[in-house]
Amino acid sequence: MTTADYTPTIHVRGKTAIVTGGGQGIGRAICLAFAREGADVAVVDTNAESAAAVAREIEALGRRSLAATTDVCDLDQVTSMTQQVIAELGHVDILANNAAVVGLVGRFWEMPLDYWHRSINACLYGTMNCSKAVLPHMIERGSGRIISIASDAGKAGEPGSAPYAAAKAGIMGFTRSLAKEVARYGITVNSVSPANTRTPSFNKLVTPELAAKMMKRYPLGRFGEPEDIANAVLFLASDAASWITGQVYSVNGGYFIG
């Protein structure tokens, strides 16, 4: 097949995806984007009720789903979850690493050590744990897509969020290194790096007054919506992105350009 014969399309028909942190916000939007475009989806979350609700939404779209209550910080739990997905859904083609811990904002030297650990464990070690769990299966199959959610806090720096920014910057470095390791097996590894996005967590934490001040930093004049991030993840999971690996894509309304 020549380049002229090939028309890439942005769908994931016949694929199976694992989405961590899939019970709400960006994770839920990713789950539903995959399902609408033909994928079966495993919804992974620490909140069993939220994961089950999203799984029902996926099934209502005509796709298979399962809800897996899993702490991505625990490699044993992640390994068991991956085995369950393979047993029930047949295989894993796509991993979307979205699980994270957010919420504590403050001066770095006054933050409790526990928050450092929670933020880095969930964001960075969670991404590494899930990638480790799916890679032997993807390598055996000779194909796969790993897309991790980073953050422009890890690119631009964000005062008050140093441990979170450090963890998200770590995801970017991990993405680039892993991409070079597994490209020979037909696996691509990329990251999507959002700026502030209107998730339930964002809406809970950000007052209208603070939002008005923050908005001045967004040339496009709005914050992101979960679907904005999901669309980028969908593209990177599709055949249209088959020659893209090791990249970090900002989806940020112009918040950070560089």
Query: Which CATH number goes with the domain that contains 87?
Result: 3.40.50.720
Residue 87 has pLDDT above 70, yes or no: yes
**Average pLDDT of 138-155?**
96
Helix and strand tally (H, E) in the chain? 10, 7
- Nearest in space to 157 (alpha carbons), one of 166, 149, 148: 166
Q: Which stretch of DSSP H or E encloses residue 42?
A: strand 40-45
Lowest mean pLDDT across 53-57, 113-117, 228-232:
113-117
Residue 257 lies in a domain: no
Residue 145 lies in a domain: yes
Residue 201 lies in a domain: yes
Residue 6 lies in a domain: no
Q: Are 26 and 199 spatial neighbours (Cβ–Cβ below 8 Å)? A: yes
Residue 20 lies in a domain: yes
Give the total number of structural domains in the chain: 1
**Average pLDDT of 216-239?**
94
C-alpha–C-alpha distance, residues 21 and 17, integer Å: 13
Residue 54 lies in a domain: yes
Residue 198 lies in domain: 14-249
Residue 6 has pLDDT above 90, yes or no: no
Residue 1 has pLDDT above 50, yes or no: no
Residue 2 lies in a domain: no
pLDDT of residue 156: 86
Residue 189 lies in a domain: yes
Query: Distance between alpha carbon 247 and the CA centroid of its chain, in Å?
Result: 14
Catalytic positions: 164
Q: What's this model's pTM, rounded to 2 decimal places?
A: 0.93
Length of the chain in terms of residues written: 258
